[in-house]
A and B are shown apart, each in its own frame.
Chain A
Amino acid sequence: AQSVTQLDSHVSVSEGTPVLLRCNYSSSYSPSLFWYVQHPNKGLQLLLKYTSAATLVKGINGFEAEFKKSETSFHLTKPSAHMSDAAEYFCVVSAISSGSARQLTFGSGTQLTVLP
């Protein structure tokens, strides 16, 4: 079984300040972890992924995340927020559930607001 908990449903930051979106996971297997972003009325775009290589993962648009096995966390950060970062962010865990099937389990999402 696998699950994801996003600790904040809403995060509000000022433009130019750091962003921290928190995520904890649970998985019976060695997991792969992802962050996806969803802009209003749009599909999901992959920001970054962790697949058991380097624990610090760099993604698109200046985002990065650190996999901490001891804390079962995969928090998303960005040094300086931009207005265009305002969107819904989803932390996702993936593990082989049966055969070759890989099922994605999504967190409930964090709405990021960027204030001018």
Chain B
Amino acid sequence: QVQLVESGGGVVQPGRSLRLSCAASGFSFSSYGMHWVRQAPGKGLEWVAFISYDGSDKYYADSLRDRFTISRDNSKNTLYLQMNSLRAEDTAVYYCAKAMIMIFLMDVWGQGTTVTVSS
């Protein structure tokens, strides 16, 4: 079955970096764009970034483009999110999600990985 499994979350000090991973299975990963979406504790959903099926196009939320980098390795069926200069407000559950043909729609979501930025 179609599955996305995030990993790499944890507790990190402000100013440090963290890389999240999302392992995909059950579908042709290299044929679909992918998203990262986050959710702060008790808050709503916030879109973070998108990468096209081949990695040639990348889009970011304006407030995050200077610190976050999305990438993918289609040979490993894995999506990544590099997060630098982390702040307390980056504390959230981070979800990866598979895009549909309409690239800004997401039809499959992982269970999320929790990032806590705290000293």
A and B interact: no
Point out residues on B near A: beta carbons under 8 Å: none
Point out residues on A near B: beta carbons under 8 Å: none
